[in-house]
Structure 1
Amino acid sequence: MKEINFKDFKVIPILSSINRIDMSDEEYFSKTYRDYVSNSRLKNINPAEGGSPSLYKNPPHFSTQSLVVGSAVHERLLQPESFELAPKMGRPTAKLGNCIDAAIKYRKQGCSIYESIVKGSNDADYYAGRLTYSRIKSILKAGLSYYFAQKNLKGTEIVLSDTDYDTVISCIRSVENNSKIINTLYPETAFGNKIPNYNEDAFFMDYVVMYKDKATILKYKMKIDNWTIDTENKVLTLNDLKTSYKPASLFMNPEYGSMYHYHYYRQFALYGDILQLYCMKEYGYTPKTWNFNANVLVVSTSDPYESQCFPISDNLIKKGRREYMQLLKRVAYYEIFGYKEEVKFI
């Protein structure tokens, strides 16, 4: 198998290409930016996370209950002006709930009840292609009260199952009662003046990646949960909110903590490097004269819903930087030579 040496690559961030935009999630995840490189997409080309060139080129699209809960917690804590929780309405959980949501959507579009259920079943992969009369009957029974309850909604609310609703409320209360997390997200000076903070900003930047005599441009996108900048004391801080089913106290455990299992250190390194470049351009930030901090804010989605704030060490940032640089090089190679060639990176 052909061997490709990482040392033969050069990754150059284009400072002039950095763009910070206040953008909705709908636009951020739209077709316009679908082919951009992102931290989550880099997972799909990382062999250590089960990635491959084909998986990167054709990334899977899926949703789990943990993602639903995590998204709701993020939206209510970081974008409360844009999102509100719908009250409990008896929404079924998991795929059945997704099936009924889709069926309601199709019903509103004018489809018959039967057609709506069939389409909803296919969209949610809930007995897709295997619906029987008894299953259709059970879907109708499970979703009827929920169907009538949600008809009065505006359509912008976050609709959850009753169980997930309780979980999200408990997580939000835990974070809001954690003074360390709140002070980290919304810091103040010693005189009580608010330090500028920003939630859910989208950033875009281009990288030129050179491999020997060839080169390609990789367009990168990211959305930062929260960042703060104290220009007077020259402190730049990156914060990211995470939900975890495990106790928050285990999050940083090197053996089985989520920080290592999900390679979150790569996200902090990549986000931190781009944020610093942006602030270098806009605020005169320099690593030598400013302090840069990064924190992960963790809340457990299981009782007793503990929450903690952990600083990210320089060693973790360095570990993440090594990893994301290698992954960008992998992407660049396949962008230049195509995704079918099998090679070994050394």
Structure 2
Amino acid sequence: MLENIKITPNLDTLRLENISDDIYFSKKFGGYISNSRLSLINPEQGGSPEKFISGLGQNAIYSDSLVFGSAVHELILQPESFQLVTSVDRPTAKAGFMADELYKKNGRQPSYEEMEAASKKIDYYAKSWNKDKAEALLSKCNNYWRNRALFEAKNKDTKTSIYLDPKSRERLQGVLSNFSKNKEFTSLINPEGLLNPIITKNEQTILLDVNVEVPDHDPFILRLKSKLDNYTIDSDTGEIVVNDVKTTGRNINDFKFAFNKYRYYRELGMYSWLLGLCAKKFYNIDKPTISSNCLVVETFGAYNTLTYKLTKKDFVKGLAEFKTLLRLVAHYKAKNNGREEWDNL
């Protein structure tokens, strides 16, 4: 039945923009469908229509590894906008998320009611929350709040500050050092053209509406969004390269496991398809040659690095899964016609 659903990109709506993370993940684009959100409807990833419609906010994963990965991306791809603070220690695990959620610029302690609300949001002892848990949390967070407030009061830099615990800072510096030493990484992210300069962009957002036709249902629109780590365009050769920075806590030689587990082939298949549309509209390249790489760094030990080049098989598999899941969204939207949460997509 999904094969009978027709999806056509509306190229008039195609946009390539520089959008901050705060806005990209805000309610303004809450109705848009990203690769990450498609995971929430994919039954092979534990997804369901209910999870998909509740969105990433309701299915947030509070993990230090995600905080660490974000820091890696920000300092590699946007060093002009972010800085690592070495004088302030953030608590680890969910206490760190509670600390950030409850932080006040004056460094003061939050109320018990504020802490209880945060515990429910982050699921930090939510079912057993009491005053003893509150006191224990305060002991973990007070120094962080105070030192962060003092730092921000003195800091005049306009860059966004990144706060990590000491061990994570040490690991981050190891990752950044080895990433910068990898000449293949740096040449992929900032290549040199033979005749004309190669276009290089980091953290660019692609927005697109697609027209959907479901049998026995009125046509409707689905809106897509993607934020690409890095891409380069060689206008002389028509070659486009999509690069995605990845960190792994496993041995670098086991990256294929993570590549399949987290569906990176779908992510980069979607990105490459969207960027191919952008190449024609914004760069006048009709038939670009598109390739994609995962630039992988271990987050432990020797911080080994690896360039994983996607194969044609990876692209075909990723694009097929992307289209199938998008049709699945369309199916459920048509089936739930009249329900506000689906109509707002």
TM over 0.5: yes
Q: Give 3-state SS (helix, strand or coil) of 1:302's partner.
A: coil
Q: TM-score, normalised by structure 2?
A: 0.88
> Using the alignment, how far apart are the partners of 2:19 and 2:64 within structure 1?
25
Distance 1:145 1:55, change over 3 A: closer
Residue 335 of structure 1: aligned partner: 333
| 1:28 lines up with 2:24 in the alignment | yes
Q: 2:202 aligns with which of 199, 204, 220?
A: 199
Distance 1:129 1:276, change over 3 A: same
Match of 2:157 in 1: none
Alpha carbons 1:14, 1:206 under 8 Å: kept: yes
Query: Structure 1 counterpart of 2:200, which letter?
Result: N
Whole-angstrom distance in 1 between the partners of 2:280 and 2:294:
23
1:226-241 equivalences under 5 Å are 226-241=230-245
8 Å CA contact 2:62, 2:94 repeated in 1: no
* Matched residue SS, 1:58: helix
Q: Deviations over 1:180-226 (max 9, x none)?
A: 011100001347x7422000001100111212243221100000100
Match of 2:306 in 1: 308
Q: Indicate the SS of the match to 2:85.
A: coil
The yes-or-no answer on 1:11 pairing with 2:7 is yes
Q: 1:180 to 1:211 in 2, by over 3 A?
A: same
Q: Which residue of 2 aligns with 1:152?
A: 150
The 8 Å contact of residues 69 and 167 in structure 1, kept in 2 or not, is answered as no
Shift in alpha-carbon separation, 1:277–1:180, aligned structure 2, 3 A:
same
TM-fit CA distance, 1:58: 1.2
Matched residue type, 2:229: D
Among 126, 138, 154, which residue is 1:140 paired with? 138
Partner SS state of residue 162, structure 2: coil
Q: Deviations over 1:144-200 (max 9, x none)?
A: 332322122338311111122122221111111111011100001347x74220000
Cα offset, 1:230, TM superposition: 0.7
Change (3 A) 1:112 1:82: closer
In structure 1, the residue matched to 2:292 is 294
TM-score (norm 1): 0.88
What is the match of residue 255 of structure 2? 251
Q: Decide whether aligned partners of structure 1 residues 149 and 108 sit closer, same or farther in structure 2, where only a CA change above 3 A counts.
A: closer
CA contact (8 A) 2:89 2:166 kept: yes
1:239–1:233 CA distance, 2 compared to 1 (3 A): same
Partners of 1:85 and 1:113 in 2: CA distance: 29
Note if 1:166 corresponds to 2:170. yes
> How far is the alpha carbon of 1:137 from its aligned partner?
3.7
The number of aligned residues is: 329
Question: 2:220 and 2:82 mapped to 1: Cα distance?
Answer: 39
**Distance of aligned partners of 1:113 and 1:337 in 2 relative to their CA distance in 1, 3 Å threshold:** closer
- How do 1:174-185 residues align onto structure 2 when only pairs under 5 Å count? 174-185=178-189
Task: Kindly provide the amino acid, as one letter, of the partner of residue 201 in structure 2.
Answer: Y
AA aligned to 1:283 is Y
CA distance 1:131–1:212, shift in 2 (3 Å): closer
Which SS does the other structure have where 1:35 is aligned? coil
Residue in structure 1 matched with residue 89 of structure 2 by the alignment: 90
Shift of 1:128: 3.3
Q: Specify the alignment match of 1:344 in structure 2.
A: none
Preserved CA contact (<8 Å) 1:206 1:217: yes
SS at 2:19 equivalent:
coil
**CA offset at residue 277 of structure 1?**
0.6
Contact 1:100 1:120 in 2 (8 A): no
> Which segments of 5 or more consecutive residues in structure 1 lack a partner in the other structure?
342-346
Q: Unaligned stretches of 5+ in structure 2?
A: 154-159, 340-345
Q: What is the letter of the counterpart of residue 276 of structure 2?
A: Q
Give the deviation of 1:120 after TM superposition: 4.7
